[in-house]
Amino acid sequence: MATRKGSVSSTSGLLRPDYKTLDRDKKTYDNDFRKAMYYVHYEIAIKKLKTETVKYAKKHHPEFEHLDALENYYYSVIGKPCYIVNQGGCVPELWQTHIVEELAKLELMGAEIKLEKEQIKVEKEDNPTAQLTIQDRLRDQASKVAATFDGWVDDFMIDPKSFKVENYDPLKEMQTAELKAPHVRYIVSFYQPEIKELEIVVKKSDEELSEAYGTYSTLQVKKLLKLYQKINDAATLIVDTSKVNRSPRKKTVSADKKVSKLKYMATFAKFGLVSQNPVDIIGAKEVWTYNTKTRKIGKYIATDEAIGLDVKGASISEYSPTLSVEKTLRKPEQQLREFKGLGKVQLRKFLENINAVAILLKGRINENIIILKIQK
């Protein structure tokens, strides 16, 4: 709840800003604006931010008529500068442009939702038992968590210099909200466009995009990209985990018994890694492993492809003792991200292209090892 001007907030510990003194010509403007955004972030409820955004639009952009159709969480970010302007403050030109662009996007979404609601209303009149689809509910639950992530982006925009990606844990947020694979697939779709855009900015291959992010340094843009990638990796981790935990359609009892004593690491959240089902090692042509302790990536190659690899106790067996090797990764996070996107043909040269000494594998699998990929 907002407090009187000049009083101290119990939440943020800041004085309520005098918004009318936010003047771009003042030397202290950048710092004053950050403090104002910080205050609004902690003190003004999202419901109020939606109200303030609609109010702002009616005054400055009356052509946007469908903003009220969206849920409150859509306004967790854009509502802050709108609130400041409504209080008599002045926002940076970058934010001013961003407000118009975001309102235009939200207007389209609002118009679509109003149309959908009208259609649903007609359908309910024709069929009183009609309800929202499962996809609608999944998307809505995912959007609520995404609003929290958008708030993190807001934190970056308020103070990009001091922003630290490691202070944010998207996996914990999604687990707390009990999001499952069907939910987080929407999370992935939400942020893929931003990731692709920022990758282009980092590569400096598009002048217009580079100009749009001109107020941020390359290091700061990389910070934002890393945040989006962290969100994406956490979502992918949940999806991959659900695939591994799903009961295989063709599961033989003998294979289960063979791998029952095999110790391995199920997930490695730091790099978004999930072990493949060890049952699939039986009869496989190749198995890729990653030792999280030694940073070594290895490839087991079957001695006889017709028979494939096998498992005995806590070790992989029936592998070529001369061709099965491992190498140390110097930049494991970057190299493993590249590894995930490679197909069968590209994987053939992945190990060969690593500039490190090849060490013969011993077959032993322990609790530090992720089963990266299994090739049948």
Interatomic CA distance for residues 286 and 291, integer angstroms: 17
Length in residues, the chain: 376
Give the helix/strand (H/E) hosting 8: none
User: Hey, what are 276's tokens?
Assistant: 């493949």
Amino acid identity at 154? D
**286-291 and 296-301 beta bridge pairing:** antiparallel
Residue 9, pLDDT above cutoff 70: no
In a domain, 140, yes or no: no
Same domain, 102 and 14: yes
Strand bridging mode 359-360 / 369-375: unpaired
Same domain, 63 and 111: yes
Q: Say if 144 falls within a structural domain.
A: no
Least confident of 117-121, 211-215, 238-242, 248-252: 248-252
Same domain, 306 and 354: yes
Residues 6+ apart with CB under 8 A from 169: none
Contact yes or no for 373/280 (Cβ under 8 A): no
**End position of a domain, from candidates 98, 131, 164:** 131
| Residues 195, 199: Cα–Cα separation, whole Å | 6
| Tokens describing residue 114 | 């109003």
Q: Are 152 and 227 in contact (CB under 8 A)?
A: yes
> What per-residue confidence (pLDDT) applies to 116?
75
Tell me what pLDDT residue 1 has: 41
Domain check: are 123 and 5 in the same one? yes
Helix (H) or strand (E) holding 278: none
Of 131, 166, 200, the one marking the end of a domain is 131
Do 276 and 313 fall within a single domain? yes
Share of the chain above pLDDT 90, in %: 11
Q: What is the DSSP letter of 246?
A: S
Has residue 342 been placed in a domain? yes
The token pair at 88 is: 């008599």
Look at 3-17, 176-190, 249-263, 272-286 and tell me which has the smallest mean pLDDT.
3-17
146 in a domain, yes or no? no
Residue 10 included in any domain: yes
Residues 247-267: tens digit of each pLDDT: 555 555 578 888 888 888 989
Regarding pTM above 0.75, the answer is no
pLDDT at res. 2: 46
Say if residues 261 and 352 touch (Cβ distance below 8 Å). Answer: no
237 and 291 fall within a common domain: no
Please write the tens of the pLDDT for every residue from 55-95: 999 999 999 988 888 888 788 888 899 999 999 999 988 88
- Same-domain check for residues 11 and 46: yes
Same domain for 230 and 347, yes or no, is no
Q: Are residues 121 and 4 in the same domain?
A: yes
- Does residue 141 lie within any of the structural domains? no
Domain, as residue range, for 190: 151-246
Q: What is the DSSP letter of 360?
A: E
- Examine residue 156 and state whether it is found in any structural domain, yes or no: yes
Residues 218 and 270 in one domain: no
For the chain, the C-alpha Rg in angstroms (whole number) is 26
Domain shared by 105 and 209, yes or no: no
> How far apart, in whole angstroms, are the C-alpha atoms of residue 281 and residue 300?
10
pLDDT digits (tens, 9 = 90+) for 353-371: 888 888 888 888 999 999 9
Whose tokens are 């707390």? That residue is 176
How far apart are alpha carbons 119 and 318 in whole angstroms? 62
On whether both 196 and 98 belong to a single domain, the answer is no
Please state the separation of Cα 268 from the chain's center in Å. Answer: 16
What mean pLDDT is reported for the chain?
82
Domain contains 138: no
Q: How far is CA 52 from CA 78, 79, 207, in A?
A: 10, 7, 35
CA distance 116 to 119: 5
The Cα–Cα gap between 352 and 356 comes to 9
Domain count, the chain: 3
Output the pLDDT for position 250: 54
DSSP 64-86: ---GGGS-GGGGTTTHHHHHHHH
**What is the model's pLDDT at position 120?**
65
Mean pLDDT for 112-125 is: 71
Residue ending a domain, choose from 131, 160, 194: 131
